Amino acid sequence: MKYNIAVIPGDGIGPEVTEQAKKALKAVANEYDHIFLFKEGLMGASAIDKTGNPLPEKTLMLCKKSDAILFGAIGDPKYDNDPTAKVRPEQGLLKLRKTLELFCNVRPVKAYNKLITNSPLKKEVIKGTNIVIYRELTGGIYFGIKELSKDGKVAFDGCSYSVYEIERIAHLAFKEAQNRRKKVTLVDKANVLETSRLWRKTVTEVAKNYPNITLEYLFVDNAAMQLILNPKQFDVILTENLFGDIISDEASVIGGSIGLLASASIGNKNALFEPIHGSFPQAKGKNTANPLASILSAAMLLEHLGLHEEANAIERAVEKSLELGITTKDINKNKAFSTSKVGDFIADFIANQEDSNLNFKNIHIGQSTII
């Protein structure tokens, strides 16, 4: 089959990790007889530098017409340290999410056996953890009314949610739970926030359509604690935009490196796939950043296109790279491989699964394993 894939490398380490995800997709295309047409677009700080606009119209059109979007990272310290900046890179991503209505952000978190000692958390606490976070992505305080008083002394961010916005993601979370361990935990702050009370009421109603799923409720402060105290209790976590942003970074500690967490942002017409780590400007251009989150995002992209076997091939390649220790320095400081070497190994494993243990030797002596 032929697919149009919009690629937005973005800022910081975005381009170098996205390159590795493309390598993996090209290997999949070869092995499984598909055609992936990659077309690149600008977004973020790099787009501001070139066009003055964090999301140029051309990129938006490219994304709208695509079968899927592969995105790298966004952000640049020159904007982070300037609160007066009128245009910010992140506005590009937020506008893309909003315009394409990518309302459902899916973030899987699991403890890989091979990396169990990489996490600062005790191994008996995290072993066996397998969670997926369903974060609402186009509503809440991120997109509410924003105000700053004339004298600059008072600021305001409004948070609103509608039943419609809550229902549509809740259905997706319950459907996901049906294929998993049949539990949804709604994370909110219903003891304080009106929006959270609407979430509870609405999600409780939606749950009636899924009688085989257990629904639990947790306040977000307690959830933040439970997530590292006893992460195995969670299956699907359903939550609003800001809480999901925060707890998904927290949950990444379970996996041993934020460099492993992939995500999908799904709408009714379009879908975008990106690693959850940021632009990591300190590592930009150094060929040291972990490409696995981007590569796993490519696997989620294939899954979304219905290419299950292909997605599985990427996942197995990632497991193998962890098993053999072909990983970047965030995972193993003492024996670190470069970003591109990890990408080469993944592509090689997809193309040449039985022989990859042999080719692994070539990686050690610095040869490419790509034929």
List residues binding ligand IPM (CB under 6 A). Answer: 74-75, 90, 93-94, 245, 276
142 catalytic residue (yes or no): yes
Is residue 275 within 8 Å of residue 17, measured between CB atoms?
yes
Instruction: Name all contacts of 351-359 with Cβ < 8 Å and 24+ positions apart.
Output: 351/27, 351/30, 351/31, 353/313, 353/316, 356/320, 357/324
Task: Supply the minimum distance, in Å, between the C-beta of residue 249 and Mn ion.
Answer: 6
Task: Supply the minimum distance, in Å, between the C-beta of residue 84 and Mn ion.
Answer: 23
125 binds, among ligand IPM, Mn ion, none (CB under 5 to 8 A by kind): none
Q: Which residue is nearest to ligand IPM (CB)?
A: 90
Give 265's strand partners. 105, 272
Task: Between 75 and 343, name the residue whose CB sits nearer to ligand IPM.
Answer: 75
* Distance (Å, whole) CA 237 – CA 231: 11
* Distance (Å, whole) CA 332 – CA 326: 9
Closest by CA position to 295, among listed 332, 240, 246, 350: 350
Closest by CA position to 263, among listed 247, 250, 276, 251: 276
Task: Supply the minimum distance, in Å, between the C-beta of residue 62 and Mn ion.
Answer: 24
Annotated active-site residue in 49, 157, 221, 355: 221
221 catalytic residue (yes or no): yes
Task: Between 145 and 358, name the residue whose CB sits nearer to ligand IPM.
Answer: 145
Task: Supply the minimum distance, in Å, between the C-beta of residue 308 and ligand IPM.
Answer: 26
49 catalytic residue (yes or no): no
Task: Between 31 and 250, name the residue whose CB sits nearer to ligand IPM.
Answer: 250
Annotated active-site residue in 80, 127, 249, 284: 249
313 binds, among ligand IPM, Mn ion, none (CB under 5 to 8 A by kind): none
151 catalytic residue (yes or no): no
* Distance (Å, whole) CA 349 – CA 342: 11
Is residue 159 within 8 Å of residue 213, measured between CB atoms?
no
Helix (H, G, I), strand (E, B) or coil at 264: strand
Task: Supply the minimum distance, in Å, between the C-beta of residue 44 and ligand IPM.
Answer: 9
249 catalytic residue (yes or no): yes
Binding site for Mn ion (CB under 5 A): 245
- Catalytic positions: 142, 189, 221, 245, 249
